[in-house]
Chains A and B, each alone.
Chain A
Amino acid sequence: MRVGKTEVVDTFAEAFGMWGARVIITADTKNWARAAAQSFTGFATSVIRCKCEAAVECEISDTDTPDLRPGISVLLFAMSEKDMSARLVERIGQCVMTCPTTACYNGLENGTTVPVGQRLRFFGDGHQIAKVVGGRKFWRIPIMGGEFLVDDVFGVQPAIGGGNLLMLGRSGRTALRAASGAADAMRDVAGVFLPFPQGVVGSGSKVGSRYKGMIASTNEAYCPTLRGRVENSALPEGIAAVYEVVVNGLDENALREAMRRGIQAAAERGVDYVSAGNYGGTLGQYKFHLYELLESN
């Protein structure tokens, strides 16, 4: 199917089930909130090595945050409910609590909860104070900068990770411009995030490797330099670079909408091909057919 000058390949993106949480970080100023969010979402591109995936969802004005200070909404996904608690405790404890003037709140009201503040409170070494207001329990942990405030529990819910689009270009610049444009368009959808740098992956991977202990390795089918070298190359002649946009979402509809917008944005930038990565449908529970996404517009 062609969208403008772009050929959209008849294929699907394969995604899998994860668990997700929304974390609201506030601070006295927007800059400190951003600093905490940046630290919180660092080294969180892929569960393959980072144990979780995280990125900023959006900035929140000081009229809409729980404590009426400037805030940032961050999404964090991990592979299990148990992992969620561990990852949230690690990252809030090491990246948010350490950032001056911050506080950290649960941003998902429904669903299952996992302990976070009730584990972080031990940092208070016995001087921590529990407070309950309007049925919401949080902890005041005395710190050198004053107090750190954190919700006792955080909501988690089943989510979807691994939604993706591949941008194939006859020039690297075209492919990257399309991938960046797609990432920008996808990021505007509430409930999704793009865990890789600026939303774009320069070194997409396949599952497994010839080397023992490597659970993922380079996706040779999409490596331009290996065309002619490997038998399973998926690249048409003339493709110079492939960039992947990976997207995770709290629900299927958000992910579909993000991917649809991503395809449109890439096509507007004249990329040669838009494709998607999958494992033949054998690994993930979710399949996002690119044609169906476009037809649902």
Chain B
Amino acid sequence: MADVDAAQRALEDALGPSEVLSDPLSRALYARDASMVEGACALVAFPRSLEDVVACVRIAGEHGLPIVPRGSGTGLAGASTPIADALVVVTSKMTRILEVRPEDRLAWVEPGLPNLDLATALAPSGFTYAPDPSSQQTSSIGGNVNTNAGGLHCLAYGVTSNHVLALDLVLPDASVVRLGSEAPEAAGYDLRGVVIGSEGTVGIVAAVCVRLTPLPPDVRTMLFDFETVEDCAATVSAIIASGVVPAAIEMMDHGIVVAAESFAHAGYPTDAAAILIVEVDGTPASVRAQSEAVERAAREHRVRSVRVARDEAERGLIWKGRKSAFGAVAQIAPHYHLHDCVVPRSSLARVLAGVYEIAARHGLVVTNVFHAGDGNLHPLLSFDRRVPGTLERVLRASDEIVRLCISVGGALSGEHGIGLEKREFMPLVFTDDDLAAQACVRTAFDPDGRMNPHKVLPEGARCGDFAMARGADAAGAAASLPEGSWI
């Protein structure tokens, strides 16, 4: 049985009294992340060092508290929503850049460092950290690691996993291991690769060694507008078919263009059915060649106008509209539910038509802004939770959207993760054996099920069903969601 009071005293001794919160307001604040799920927690701790993180994990273990790691709380799938007696370990006070070594093309940072702060700090060195989720002003590197975060420039640069060389992980037994290496290869299985995207269920990431990417010598940002969504979507496939892999291809539909424009004043064409933002980078000659091919593809699909950013200020403005899109939808309705699923690029137009149909049938407003080049959709349902019955309609529509994406060969999540919100969808894409194998991976790190229970795997998926593994089992030991938490 958890002894919360004893745990609190021990944590206060180890971290200092000001770094441990237990008052009702704090517990309520940390009982949820940016998802629609609400949970509950017993204590909130703010480590300032690797040693503090170790102390948190050790003390939680000694007093029987489950641990929920949390970065900036921008997660959209409920992975850092705590359940019941949990100790929430918040890394947002661990924001130091520990070391920058351009000669080795790497930097060591603490997990709480906001993504954009790292990119800004690196810029004078001629390097950058490539992953740039839309939440980058707030979201932390540690959170990005735990969700294998994507961003606007994944198409050419890849996701977080491609840019993390090594990490220091505090295992659930409070031991510390360095996974991966400053060298390009390391001894052992790629546990680094397993931790990335594991949503805080295998340990707490206490330091991250990121790969530095040289800033491209030239970049061009273009904005295309179309009279139909179909032409816009078809242009995406045509660009790829022409042999160009732009740094980014982002698509915004009419509804989101209108909302973003009135918020960011980026000069977006508000009468367009859809717009594409395409960015190409490389050497000057390569940028010229790519831009020509991209423009040709757009013209073949009846583009209405082409706008090329003339300078850094205009480029910034075009991206500002895109990056503030989610904030801008507050004008449509007070609440929104943001989806994240991936479909084959060639089925974008068909899936979008389906999404509009589903929303219309449930009487909901849907807008779309997404990473078209990756086939990564983000349908955004706007609603007012206070209207009785609305939430139920949102959840039914969401369910249908997920099933639609899966039916065309898509994935449940491209960059937000599974968390609590999507774990019961996992059997849609995986067999019992697949899920049991995944449970084995989790159990290998966390045999006693201490770390972020209830997340990622559906109830019932357990390692013991699969192989001859022994001992306790993280996912299997989880009971049903307690009363008071809702999705």
| Co-complex (A, B) | no
